[in-house]
Amino acid sequence: MKSAIAVMLALFCGVCGLTIADNRIEMGSRGYALAVRDGAMARLTFRIVNEVGSVVTGANVRASFGRNDSKWLIGISDDNGLFTVEDRSSGKVLYRVDRDGYYQTRGEYSLGDAGSIIVEGGKWIPWSATNTVVIKKIRNPVPMYAAYKHFVIPLKGTNVAFDMEVGDWVEPYGKGVHRDLIMMYEETVSKEPIVYSKSLQLTLGTNALDGVQRNKVNGFSTMQSACEAPLDGYEKSIAWSLEAFRRKKDIIRAPPPDEYFVFRVRTAVDDKGKIVKANYGKIYGPVNFLGAEENRLEFRYYYNAEVNSRNMEFDPKRNMFTHLGPMEEVTAP
């Protein structure tokens, strides 16, 4: 009897010993929750590169391992663009990269692979992972008309125009002259099934080759857009809407927060249809018209007044608007 009990205990302890020794923890398990709570050791190598993939040396890298007691670990990328940090982590690493002549980049790196073993032997797997961080070179920041506008659309169901350079509605609703941005805002309240709806259509300019195009922001860099507007790929207008149902899920066709919009206006062509004159700019989202306040519109835009310049790098120290209120000021490039 004692022999049988001894064998069972040995087998049980052997299983326990294997589990404890290997300490393999999968995503979603109780062990994972403990690893997030108490932390496990992690090693992460940052590889700093520019927009064409070349390594960047001498970049200042700051990393924190996401725990309340974590300190920022600071170092400089070496001749291979690498900097390695190691500390106890709850599953994420916060970082910031600075380099003279480049836009700051910051972000968050998640440790472990979902659906697989993510902690083993008290360490996050894969151990010593590499995070490639792209930093954008500062090329040629220029003066622009840049503002964060908060205003009420003058009329519903009617095209109203906005002058990017003046920063105001076109007459008779404001002091603007050029119809750079034409807005059609509509709002309805009806019975079942739709009880409430809003829609906004933005048309860029009045000339044939004026237009707008959607792009994804670079959410990690302080320079979230491309540095130069494209030559083609523009569409005439974009539209968004909200339909609120009483007993169903609302349908929202609004601009995603990770989009920005490049525009071309005041476009003139020669007798062969070639563009000889145009102005370019960008609008950062979200374009917010879904709030509770009626006719309320908010968006941030940048207008390059230099004819034919496709430069999208704004110099915040040289805003061509000189009388912006605190709520309208733009500090990001």
**Contact of 41 with 124, CB cutoff 8 Å:** yes
Indicate the number of domains in the chain.
2
In a domain, 302, yes or no: yes
What confidence tens digit (pLDDT) does each residue in 74-84 have?
Answer: 999 999 999 99
Please choose, from the candidates 75, 133, 137, 77, the residue with its C-alpha nearest in 3D space to the C-alpha of residue 109. 133
- 116 vs 102, higher pLDDT: 102
74: enclosing H helix or E strand: strand 73-76
Mean predicted confidence (pLDDT) in 59-86: 91
- Alpha carbon of 321 to those of 166, 183, 245: distances in Å? 8, 22, 42
Q: What token pair was written down for 58? A: 């001498």
Mean predicted confidence (pLDDT) in 315-329: 92
Q: What token pair was written down for 49? A: 């590169």
**Sign of torsion, CA 61 45 258 260?**
positive
In a domain, 5, yes or no: no
Answer yes or no: do 124 and 39 share one domain: yes
For residue 73, the domain's CATH number is 2.60.40.10
130: enclosing H helix or E strand: strand 129-134
Answer yes or no: do 190 and 311 share one domain: yes
pLDDT on residue 286:
77
Place of tokens 């169901």: 157
Last-in-domain residue among 105, 134, 163: 134
Answer yes or no: do 41 and 118 share one domain: yes
Q: What token pair was written down for 65? A: 């391992």
**Contact of 73 with 95, CB cutoff 8 Å:** no
What confidence tens digit (pLDDT) does each residue in 4-57 have?
Answer: 433 333 333 333 332 323 466 666 666 666 767 777 889 999 999 999 999 999
Answer yes or no: do 124 and 220 share one domain: no
pLDDT on residue 16:
35
Answer yes or no: do 222 and 193 share one domain: yes
pLDDT on residue 187:
84
Position 162 pLDDT exceeds 70: yes
In a domain, 180, yes or no: yes
Q: Is 214 helix (H, G, I), strand (E, B) or coil?
A: strand
Last-in-domain residue among 113, 134, 155: 134
Q: What is the DSSP letter of 66?
A: S
What confidence tens digit (pLDDT) does each residue in 198-245 have?
Answer: 888 999 999 999 999 999 998 899 999 999 999 999 999 998 887 776
- 164 vs 249, higher pLDDT: 164
**What percent of the chain clears pLDDT 70, i.e. is strictly above it?**
81
Among 85-94, 166-175, 301-310, the minimum mean pLDDT is found in: 85-94
Task: State how far the Cα of 13 lies from the Cα of 9, in Å rounded to an integer.
Answer: 6
Answer yes or no: do 75 and 193 share one domain: no
Mean predicted confidence (pLDDT) in 57-82: 91
Main-chain dihedrals φ then ψ at residue 218, nearest 5 degrees? -90, 95
Q: Are strands 168-169 and 211-216 parallel, antiparallel or unpaired?
A: unpaired
**Contact of 13 with 7, CB cutoff 8 Å:** no
In a domain, 100, yes or no: yes
Task: State how far the Cα of 95 lies from the Cα of 108, in Å rounded to an integer.
Answer: 6
**What percent of the chain clears pLDDT 90, i.e. is strictly above it?**
57
Range of the domain at 295: 142-319
Answer yes or no: do 185 and 298 share one domain: yes
- 311's CB contacts (< 8 A; 6+ apart) are 140, 142, 227, 228, 229, 280, 304
Last-in-domain residue among 134, 154, 187: 134
Answer yes or no: do 212 and 123 share one domain: no
Please choose, from the candidates 96, 34, 39, 27, the residue with its C-alpha nearest in 3D space to the C-alpha of residue 66. 39
In a domain, 17, yes or no: no
Answer yes or no: do 63 and 92 share one domain: yes
Task: State how far the Cα of 25 lies from the Cα of 118, in Å rounded to an integer.
Answer: 6
Answer yes or no: do 84 and 181 share one domain: no
pLDDT band at 294 (very low <50, low <70, confident <90, very high): low
Answer yes or no: do 257 and 182 share one domain: yes
Position 153 pLDDT exceeds 60: yes
Position 186 pLDDT exceeds 50: yes
In a domain, 255, yes or no: yes
Answer yes or no: do 261 and 160 share one domain: yes
